[in-house]
Structure 1
Amino acid sequence: MPGLLINIDVPDLAAGETFYTAALGLTVGRRFDDDIVELLGSDAPIYLIAKLAGSAIGPVGGAARDYARHWTPVHPDFTVANLDTAVAKALAAGAVQEGETLTLPYGRQAMFADPFGHGFCLIEFNDAGYDALATD
């Protein structure tokens, strides 16, 4: 079975560390040189990686990094015990809530953008969780 870790590019490593530790209660693990910090406290480690705006997104070129609000088909969802408390912490840390908090068959969810344009969700599962959606 493969392991999982999450990498999040940020233009300012200190600002990224401040946001993710305050918004989600993550703690700093290791630091790697001056451009990577490991955050712990979630199911998988999160690595913030300093990447300047305008830098190439990969070795074969393509688009340049842009930290304005953007959409990507892959984004982290963080499960929380109390959504109202988690929303307040995320907003106080600088997140922008996008839309209203939703009540869904599996619980409650709120969608956000971090200060670097990355989308993420906070989810408070009810007792059924995603089983409320399962068809078999």
Structure 2
Amino acid sequence: MRQLINIDVPELDAALAFYTRAFGLHVGRRLGADVVELLGGNAPVYLLRKPEGSPAAGEETRRYARHWSPVHLDVAVDDLDAALASALAAGARQEGAIRAANWGRIVTIADPFGHGWCLLQFLGRGYDEIAGPAAGSPAGSPAGSAA
């Protein structure tokens, strides 16, 4: 299986400027006048120009005001503060404070097209911290630490 990320946007040039600046992606190729392939992450991102008000799913029409969806995209970064600064400089809006968890740090942002994103910085064993001690590690001792 191979994942592709498709993002509907009302203006292709504005979206291209945002995603390349905010996330460091680069143009792979243009596919006609309404599609741009961006590369640089684990999966290609396709920006699809779809006008506001055009048919979406079911009887819905596309709208680009901030909206909530149970599906969102996370961007795992090495330096959350630097990634957040880049996203904000490119036009994202921060939606709350940076939060810390045992697996790392997270902040929620919205892009200029209404889509929600999470920027994540994994620490320690990342999401494996949720599962408990690493196999072979004494309880309460972080994996890989000198005890």
**Is TM (by shorter chain) over 0.5?**
yes
Q: Look up the equivalent residue of 1:63 and give its one-letter code.
A: E
Aligned to 1:100: 97
Aligned-residue offset at 1:135:
5.9
Q: How many residues align?
A: 133
Residue identity (%): 55
CA distance in 1, matches of 2:73, 2:106: 13
Q: After TM superposition, where is structure 1 displaced by more than 2 Å over at least 4 residues in a row? A: none
Q: Which has the higher contact order (CA 8 A, sep 6+)?
A: 1
Two-structure CA RMSD over aligned residues (Å): 1.2
Q: 1:128 aligns with which of 120, 125, 129?
A: 125
Q: How does 1:77-92 map to 2 (within 5 A)?
A: 77-92=74-89
Alignment partner of 1:133: what SS? helix
- Between structure 1 and structure 2, the one with the greater Rg is 2
Matched, 1:73 2:73: no
CA distance in 2, matches of 1:105, 1:26: 29
Aligned-residue offset at 1:63:
0.7
CA distance in 2, matches of 1:23, 1:12: 16
Residue segments in structure 2 that go unaligned for 5+ positions in a row: 134-147
Alignment partner of 2:2: what SS? coil
Task: Map Cα deviations across residues 76-100 of structure 1 (whole Å, 9 max, x no partner).
Answer: 1000010000000000000000010
Aligned-residue offset at 1:11:
0.1
Q: How does 1:39-54 map to 2 (within 5 A)?
A: 39-54=38-53
Alignment partner of 1:87: what SS? helix
Q: Look up the equivalent residue of 2:122 and give its one-letter code.
A: F
Aligned-residue offset at 1:62:
1.1
